Amino acid sequence: MTSGAAGGSLIDIFQQPRFTRLGLAPVGPVLAATVAQTYPVASASSSIVYRYDPTIDAPALRPGLPGPIFGERAETIGQGRLDLTASYSFVKLATINGDSLDDLVNQRTVGTRFLFFRVRGGAMLADGRFTTLLPVHATVDIGVDAHIFSPSLTYGVTPDLDVNVTLPVIRTSLDLQATTVVPDPRFPSFKLKPGNPLAGTDVLSASDESAGVGDLLLRAKYIVRRGAPADVALGLGLSLPTGSADNFQGTGTTRVLPAVIASRVFGNRVELFANLGMELDTSDVGRSAVRWALGGTVSLLPERLAMPIVFLGRDEIGAPADPIPVPFFFQIERSDAVDASVGLRWRFSETALLSANALVPMNRSSGLRANVVPTVNVEWRF
């Protein structure tokens, strides 16, 4: 067994010669282009809302439901009000296109190509033939984890306009292990003579970790309509590539995020909302995506405890990364995602909330997916 960290970035691990000869070199850039898209982005909507009260000629705290943990509602925080949220999420990627990342086996052949090791000086096969290469059976375990701490600040510029800034701090790690069998038993014609030292099983491993900021997210929301059947707001976001894609901390591209947001409160016990927007990749519009959210918040204990339940989707227009030329282990053609978000929000003081949430994938057939993404956050109004 060999182990050790690669210098530079996390994807450099895939460039180590012992892994490149296993056909893993192209996997690193594909992961770099897609991992950060799996990270959750907490709502910019404040859970604590102020409305102008003409009886006191000043904004007053509005009783009612807190906002969602993921997704947006149309309501704004109130002019001159400041809201700070600190969130923590843990992402451990578990599957790729529905297959476990812990047990990826190379295809026997891709077209006419197969994985092989070159044999210096050659070797005699069991049937007496001479060969200078031997096929390899490889089982690969890829572990990608991310600890995401996201401070987020929302300010009410006017009664109808909120602005938000979010800059996550992310600690990512990569563990890579490959178990190789030479010669590949799926190629009986390459069987070696008994006792040949070239035959056998080997384990290669490497790991590394990195800490840094993620992509800077700037968001604004403006209410264009209040009242039945729903409050309606327009949202606009700008995601700047301040995070390192090669360390799985950012997307590596600037993205523009327009959205339409609608919500309606029913008797201070239930709030329903819907979001529809785009994630426009400014470097390649073909890699843009449609984003949507549909759900609501239910009051369990009036003014104290509420449960948000939200379904979130991301539908890509095209492939999120360049195709792998010889995909021995996997190919990401699309990375569409549908998630269910279930949480609890506890208002432990008039101007502060504590929340916990689980984000669970509803589909696994395309792209990278985690089994569950837990999130906790604390929110204060100043």
Question: Is the per-residue pLDDT at 199 higher than 80?
Answer: yes
The tens digit of pLDDT for each residue in 54-96 reads 555 555 556 678 889 999 999 998 888 899 999 999 999 999 9
Strand partners, 289: 279, 316
Tell me which of 101 and 194 has the higher pLDDT.
101
DSSP string, 57-119: TEEEEEPSPPPPSSS--S----TT-EEEEEEEEEEEEEEETTEETTSEE--S-BTTB--EEEE
How far is 346 from 307, CA to CA, in rounded Å? 9
Question: Is the per-residue pLDDT at 2 higher than 50?
Answer: no
Tell me the CB-side half-sphere exposure of residue 183, using CA atoms within 13 A. Answer: 23
Confidence band of 382 (pLDDT split at 50, 70, 90): confident
The tens digit of pLDDT for each residue in 170-190 reads 999 999 999 999 999 999 999
Fold of 26-106+150-171+212-381: Porin (2.40.160)
pLDDT confidence of residue 52: 53
pLDDT confidence of residue 6: 41
Confidence band of 256 (pLDDT split at 50, 70, 90): very high
The tens digit of pLDDT for each residue in 288-325 reads 999 999 999 999 998 899 999 999 999 999 888 888 88
Strand partners, 373: 359
Sequence letter at residue 264 = R
